[in-house]
Each structure stands twice: as structure tokens, then as C-alpha cells.
Amino acid sequence: MRFGLRVAVPVLALLIAPFAVAAETVRWDDQVSSFNLDNGMEVVVIEDHRAPVVVHMLWYRAGAADEKPGVSGVAHFLEHLLFKATDTLESGEFSKTVAANGGSGNAFTSQDYTGYYQRVAADRLELMMQMEADRMVNLKITEADILTEREVIIEERNQRTENDPGALFGEQANAALYLNHPYGVPIIGWRHEMETLGLQDTLAYYEQFYAPNNTVLIVAGDVTPEEVKVLAQRHYGPITANPELPARARPQEPEHNAARRLVFEDARVAQPYVRRSYLAPERDSGDQKTAAALMLGAALLGDGQTSVMTQKLQFEEKSAVYATAFYRGTSLDNTQFTTVVVPVPGVSLREAEDNMDRVIQEFMDGPIDLAHLDRIKRNMRAQEIYAKDNVQGLANKFGRALTAGLTVKDILEWPDVVESVTEADIKAALSKVLEDSLSVTGWLTSDAETVK
């Protein structure tokens, strides 16, 4: 296992990239170009001139997994507070101005990033940049903001998590999977810590991470790299880098030596299911083949009507209402490979889990259906064409990858990496990941007595 080494590559890339290619615009293809500002901000432009619209997105390379222990949820709390006052804007005026210009916008927080975006007519881009640059450094949060907005994030937790037994179950399973890495802590935060988040906690996070050398700016739509460069230099350029920006070295996972199991009981569960997660490697810069193999493995096993789990469990044996496997490789640190089986009435969770294990074992023991693998690869190539129709989706793809230690080159190479993966690569990657000792198996049920 090489858990310890994995962050070395992305961190190095982060430190070197801004200075190595400062100010030079790289045109990667007819749609994507990139450059860096002198203060370390990385800028990517994705052109689509079909409609006079732009998406302006600022991504911080800081998310929930970058929080200090004890203040879980502070990254997301700060994301909410960025819509309060700055030196020059009143509280709420940011959103109001976006709306008054016919735009829409919002923000999002994940383990590896915090992002802010606006969709506006192309001629309003400069205003968006000016306001976004302003709140990167001029935020003025008050104690009153803290008290009110803290209630809002607690209601958000109520809505997303407390009212949904499946979400509560997922939170417990995640915490069991990660023994040491902060990915085991929910993005929204543990409730007891959210309730005590204060002004100092949010400002500490803000001052540490909100700086141009910790950002990726993505502008997508009816705009040219030349225009973006002029505007970005004008508005983001004057902001100084934070020389004390820490390296993104989160606590890493130790060796996992024991399979973990949990049963989550909640009277609100109507449809019991079994979910298994394995700790799995993520895409690494310059080394994406294992991740590509795992993604194809998940697709063969559990993506869509013709996948192995669906065909066996839903169509042939009729023991499952739904069966799936998924893997999300875009992550700074170790990610997960997950399988889920939702049994039909009369099939117990024990049987559902046994069926899942058997089908996966048969898949690993037998030959891969090459026609199936070809169909998946052909579809992925076609997705590249369809993706051009949704420039905001493309912008999101770049933002997620660039805040997870990958480069533009890695992103553009990904389809070729996927294409090059063989059935042997898939088997090899899966066999390393599908190890009991790396797994957490959870049962979600309304009545724990009946599933024993």
C-alpha cells in the first residue's frame, strides 16, 4: 500500500505550477486555455460562443478536509457567510447585485474544495470578478451574522441529513471507513461541533485559505482567454498571495487490517439495503491508469441495465430491486469504491450481501465481456461530444479535478488513459481494492432484530 506517498505529487504540482508558467497562455485545444497570474491564481478558460452567456467560477483549494479538528463544518459555514457584508457591499448585496443583473449564482463546499459561481450575460463578467475578488479578502462578518447563519446551516443539516436515515447511515459508514483521514468527518459538520462554531473559527479558516495562490478561476462560455486575462489581472491581480499557505498534507490512512461492519436502525427506513465501501486509490497527476481501471470496473459491475450486478441480481435471479457499483476517482486523497444492493421483499440483508459477494466473485473469476467493455468505452467517447453542450458541466469537471491535485493536462489526457485500459488492468486494480480488510459493510434497516 502506498497511502503515505499519494499526496506528495499534488502538493508539489501546486507549489511549482504557478511560477513555472506565469502569465503565459497555454491553448490546449480549440476550447480550453489556461494561464496563471503572478500571485499564483490558476485560470482556465473554456470557450463556447453559441450563446452570450458566461459562467464565472472561483474554486478554493480548501474544503472540509482542510479544517482543524474540532470545528467540523467551518468550511461550509464560511461559504454561507461569504454572502454577508464586505468593506464595500452590504450583507446580501452580492446576491442582490447578481440577480439585478439577470444572473444566478450560488456556492458549494466539498471535502477538497469550496466553490462560488455566477451565470450571467457575458457583458457582466467584469462585475462578477470585481465582487468575487472583493470578498476573497474584504469580508466583514459580525457576531449577529454568526448567530443567524449558524441556525441556517443547522436547518440545512436537518434537511439533508437528520431527516434522511439513508444520509445518517452514509455518515456513519464514512466515519467507519476512514480511520484517520478527515474524509470520515461529514462536510456539513457533526451537529455538536456546528452548534459551537464561532466568529474566530470562521475567520481563522478564511485568513488561512482564502488567498489567490489557493484558487482556480474558471470562466466558461462566450469569452476569450485574452479578455479573461485582462479582467482577471485587473481584479484578482492586485490581491497578494498568502506566503503562509500550508501544504495540503492531511492525516493519511494507516494500514487497514480489519473489515468493519455496522447495522443502522431507523424506524423511518422503508427500503432496507446493504452498502459496501472499500478504501480505493484516487486519480493522481501523471498516474491515472489505476483510477481509470477502477472506473471501468465499476461500470462493468454496476452501471446500467447491462451491467453484471444488474443482469444477475435484478434480471436473472430477481433477488434485487436495484444493484449498483460506483467509484469517483477525482479526489485529493484516498477515495472509495462502493457497491449497493437493494433486495426485493422477502430477501434478507444477509442474503442480499451474500448474493452481492457471489456475483462480484464470479465476475473476478471469469473473463471480462470484451464487447461490454467496448460499449462502455465507446459511450465515454460519445460523452465527450455531449459534454460540449453543457459548458457549466465542463467547468465543474475542471474545477473538481484541479482542486484534487490534477492538472489541465491530466484532465485532457483522461479519455486516452481510459481508452488504454485493458481487461487485465481492470482485474488487477479491482483485486487490490476488493479486499475485506479495506471494507466497511453496512446494513440499513427499520428493525435490527429481524435482520440478524
Partner 1 sequence: MNRIFYSFVTAFVLIAAPLRADVDIQEVTSPMGLKAWLVEDHTIPFMALRVGFEGGASLDRPEKRGAVNLMMALLEEGTGDLDARGFAQEVDELAASFSYNATDDSVSVSARMLSENRDQAIALLRGAMTAPNFDQSAIDRVKGQVLSGIQSDLKDPNSIASAAFDLAAFGDHPYGSDTSGTVESVTALTRDDIFKAHRDTMARDRVFISAVGDITAADLGALLDTLLADLPEIGATMPVHVDVSLEPGITVIPYETPQSVALFGHRGIKRDDPDFFAAFVANTILGGGGFESRLMTEVREKRGLTYGVQSYLAPKDHAEMVIGQLASANNRMGAAIDVIKDEWAKIAEVGVTQAELDQAKTYLTGAYPLRFDGNGPIANILVGMQMQRLSTDYVNTRNASVNAVTLEEINRLIKRVYLPDELHFTVVGQPEGL
The size of the interface with partner 1 (CB under 8 A), counted in residues, is 73
User: CB 298 → partner 1: shortest distance, Å?
Assistant: 16
Residues of span 159-188 touching partner 1 by CB under 8 A: 159, 162-163
> How far apart (Å, rounded) are the C-alpha atoms in residues 429 and 294?
6
Residue pair 276/339 in contact (Cβ under 8 Å)? The answer is yes
Residues of span 378-407 touching partner 1 by CB under 8 A: 378-379, 381-383, 385-386, 388-392
User: Does 452 sit near partner 1 (CB under 8 A)?
Assistant: no
Which of 191/289 has CB closer to partner 1? Answer: 191
User: CB 307 → partner 1: shortest distance, Å?
Assistant: 10
Residue 97, φ and ψ in degrees, nearest 5: -70, -40
Q: Which stretch binds partner 1 (CB under 8 A): 7-15, 56-64, 278-286, 372-380?
A: 372-380
Residues of span 258-297 touching partner 1 by CB under 8 A: 267-271
- For partner 1, which residue of 39, 290, 314, 334 counts as binding (CB under 8 A)? 314
User: Does 192 sit near partner 1 (CB under 8 A)?
Assistant: no
User: Does 251 sit near partner 1 (CB under 8 A)?
Assistant: no
Which residues lie below 8 Å from residue 420, measured CB to CB, with a gap of 6+?
A: 289, 292
User: Does 234 sit near partner 1 (CB under 8 A)?
Assistant: no
Q: Which stretch binds partner 1 (CB under 8 A): 58-66, 201-209, 301-309, 428-436?
A: 301-309
User: Does 90 sit near partner 1 (CB under 8 A)?
Assistant: no
- For partner 1, which residue of 57, 298, 342, 373 counts as binding (CB under 8 A)? 342
Residue 19, φ and ψ in degrees, nearest 5: -90, -30
User: Does 149 sit near partner 1 (CB under 8 A)?
Assistant: yes
User: CB 304 → partner 1: shortest distance, Å?
Assistant: 7
User: Does 137 sit near partner 1 (CB under 8 A)?
Assistant: no
Over the window 3 to 42, marking each residue x when it contacts partner 1 by CB under 8 A and - when it does not, the resulting string is: ----------------------------------------
User: CB 431 → partner 1: shortest distance, Å?
Assistant: 26
Residues of span 106-125 touching partner 1 by CB under 8 A: 106, 119-121, 124
User: Does 203 sit near partner 1 (CB under 8 A)?
Assistant: no
User: Does 151 sit near partner 1 (CB under 8 A)?
Assistant: yes
User: CB 379 → partner 1: shortest distance, Å?
Assistant: 5
> How far apart (Å, rounded) are the C-alpha atoms in residues 348 and 12?
49
Query: Is 79 assigned a catalytic role?
Result: yes
- Catalytic residue positions, numbered: 79
